Structures are given as structure tokens and as C-alpha cells.
Amino acid sequence: MTSPKTTIKDIAKALGLSVATVSRSLNSSHEVSEETRMRVLSKARELSYKPNIHARNLLKRRNNMVGVVVPEFTTFFFPEIIIGIQEVLNAEGYQVLICQSSESATLERRNIEMLESSMVEGLIVSVTKDAQNTALYHRIIGEGTPVVFVNRVLPELHATQVVIDDRKWAFKVVDHLVRCGYRNIAHLAGNEHLSITKERLQGYLDALSLHGIPIKDKYIMHVGVQQDRAKVGIDYLLSLKERPDAIFTVNDPIAVGCMLELRKRGLRVPQDVAVAGFSESPIGRIMELTSVSQPTFEMGRVAAQRLLRQMADATTPIETIVLDGKLNVRGSTLPARKME
């Protein structure tokens, strides 16, 4: 059986140094002392370290290109993030290579590998609905490539992330529904592995618990994040003996799909069933959907700014930047009333 290759992280751990210091030593950087460099080289020989030529070329070469990978371009959400990214990076002279994963983990991997072969200096990523490429990003980050995740993130990785407080704002949506008088509140959640799914589901549970409303598993269903999945959720919820009087969805596409499906069945929104979403889409505004708006343009700008810092200095601290949202109450939920 072939033994695993020694990595820069292995050398750093053995010497009690940072990965950045080891990387600089191996690349003969003037930023480390000769003593440190010799210690690193000695340990590298001892551990039979063989440099990743591709990663070394990436570190030495500046080509002013950054890669961006997002799940889709079909809704407004990710294009607005991309506009924010481009505004910042273009002003600094960078070209932005934009890829769409089409919610496919396989295509996401291919996109990343293509961007690697194009020798991009850094990456900004929002992962697919299945979030299956953690090992890929772990390798890339370990080799020294700056990576910033935006919106859909991988919390288990040591990487900078730009998000909003999904749990907090999901709580505010469900709290609003309770204050409107709804008690049988269902949640159509996203794909189980997504960070936004987990956080928004927890916010839903928090709000019900705070108001003393029993949590019923039958009112929680993972349907995904794409609009055509709303029909599956509505078919299920309307099949229940005790139907929900309100539905909170993981995002606006699912919420809009729910509103359309309910109307097809002759049910009125919000008189028969209230609907609230998350992510504030143009079509949602037209349909008077109560939803949470996210600062998508600013998310893109902040992600690009953090990536620039990391590309300029490998020792830049890893951060989780949490931006603010806003609950916009519209006609898909009844006006809030005072609690008795």
C-alpha cells in the first residue's frame, strides 16, 4: 500500500511553524530567516517531502486572474453577488473567470480543476446543493491557494466565509408568522448538507420553541432549493390530516413555487395558507411575498475584498464575515398582531 505523501502541513506540524512560514521557506522567500529556512529544508528531506510543482508555480506566478464558481445564473441571487465581485476585482486589474456548477458536484469539481489549470491566483466559491467537494477544497487550501466561500459555505473548512446570520433571520420570519396568529407552521427545507439549510431550519425550531409551540416532525420536509421542487412539498403538506396554516421555505424560489401550487388548488394566500420565503427575489416582490432580503451585491464585494487581502498576504487571518439582512413583510402573510 502506498504511504500518503508528505504535505507542507506535515512539515509545519512537525516544526511547530505556520503553513505560511514553511511555504515561504520552501520557496526561498526573503521574509523568513536563513535559520528557519534551513530547519524547514532539513525536515522536508527527513520526511521525503516532494513539492507539488503545480502549486509552486501557482505561488510564484501572478497572472491577475481569479476564479468564481456559483451554483446557477438563472435567478437574480448569484448574478448580483458576481457583479459585486467583479466591481472590486476589476478595479484592481484582475480578470474574473466565472463558472456555473448547475447544482452538480461533478461539474463543480471540473470547474475548480479547470480554474486550477488556468493558474488563477484565488477562488471565490458558493457550493452546490449537495456540498460534496469538501476534500477537494481541503487540498486546494492546504496547497496555499486563497479561497473565500460566500453564502453557501463549508463550515468544517478553515477558510474565510461571507454570509448572513441565516439562523437569526429564519427565526425572525417564523416569529413574525407566530405573531400573525399562525400555529401550524411548516418548513420546506433545502438539501440536508447545505449550511443554509441547517441554519434556517434551526432558526425555525428556535422560534417555535420560544413561543411554546410543539415541534412536529410531520411539518418539516427537505425538498431542495429549486422552484420545481415546491410541488413535492405542497403535495405532501396538503395530504396531511392536519394541514399547516403557514409555510416557511428555505428560499424564494420554493416559496414562489408554493404560492403557484396553492393557487392551482384553489387555496388563497394568505387567507387559507400563509407563505414566507428567504432571499428576496424580484418575482417574490411582484407576488407580494414576505421574505428576508440579503445584501447580495455587498456579499460579493466583501468576498472579493477578503480574497485580495489573502492573495496579498498569506498570513491574513481567516474570518467569518456576517452581514445583516432585513425582513420585508408583504401580502403573503397576514398583518402581525399583538400577542395576548
Question: Which CATH number is 40's domain given?
Answer: 1.10.260.40
Q: What is the pLDDT of residue 337?
A: 58
The DSSP 8-state label assigned to residue 9 in this structure reads: H
Is residue 215 in a domain?
yes
Paired with 163 in beta bridges are 322
Q: Considering its fold, how many domains does the chain have in total?
A: 3
Distance CA 162, CA 118 (A): 25
256, 279, 294 — which closes off a domain? 294
Give 60's contacts (C-beta < 8 A, 6+ positions apart): 27
Residues 301 and 155 in one domain: yes
Q: Are 225 and 251 in contact (CB under 8 A)?
A: yes
Residue type, 186: A
Q: How many of the other CB atoms lie within 10 Å of CB of 90?
A: 12
Q: What angle do CA 165, 237, 201 make, to 5 degrees?
A: 15
Cell of 127: 457550493
Residues 29 and 120 in one domain: no
Against a cut of 0.75, is the pTM above it? yes
Place of cell 468544517: 156
Residues 112 and 46 in one domain: no
Is residue 335 in a domain?
no
Q: What is the pLDDT of residue 335?
A: 76
Residues 303 and 275 in one domain: no
Question: Which CATH number is 301's domain given?
Answer: 3.40.50.2300
Is residue 245 in a domain?
yes
Residues 147 and 158 in one domain: yes
Alpha carbon distances (Å) from 248 to 26, 164, 256: 53, 18, 11
Residues 239 and 289 in one domain: yes
Cell of 261: 401550487
Per-residue pLDDT 10s for the chain (340 aa) are 445 678 888 898 999 988 888 877 776 556 778 788 888 888 888 888 876 545 554 454 567 999 999 999 988 899 999 999 999 999 999 999 999 999 999 999 999 999 998 889 999 999 999 888 999 999 999 989 999 999 999 999 999 999 999 999 999 999 999 999 999 999 999 999 999 999 999 999 999 999 999 999 999 999 999 999 999 999 999 999 999 999 999 999 999 999 999 999 999 999 999 999 999 999 999 999 999 999 999 999 999 999 999 999 989 999 999 999 999 999 999 876 555 4
Distance CA 232, CA 221 (A): 10
Is residue 135 in a domain?
yes
Percentages helix, strand, coil for the chain (3-state, rounded to 5) are 45, 15, 40
Which residue in 71, 70, 57 sits closest to 121, CA to CA?
Answer: 57
Q: What is the pLDDT of residue 55?
A: 52
Is residue 194 in a domain?
yes
Residues 131 and 152 in one domain: yes
Distance CA 145, CA 311 (A): 8
Is residue 108 in a domain?
yes
Residues 177 and 273 in one domain: yes
Q: What is the pLDDT of residue 30?
A: 61
Distance CA 87, CA 76 (A): 17
Residues 207 and 234 in one domain: yes
Is residue 1 in a domain?
no
Residues 172 and 230 in one domain: yes
Distance CA 29, CA 215 (A): 58
Is residue 338 in a domain?
no
**Omega before 295 within 30 of 0, i.e. cis:** no
Q: What is the pLDDT of residue 257?
A: 98
Residues 122 and 97 in one domain: yes
- Measured in whole angstroms, the distance separating CA 191 from the mean position of its chain's CA atoms is 12
Residues 202 and 172 in one domain: yes
Domain ranges, residue 29: 8-51
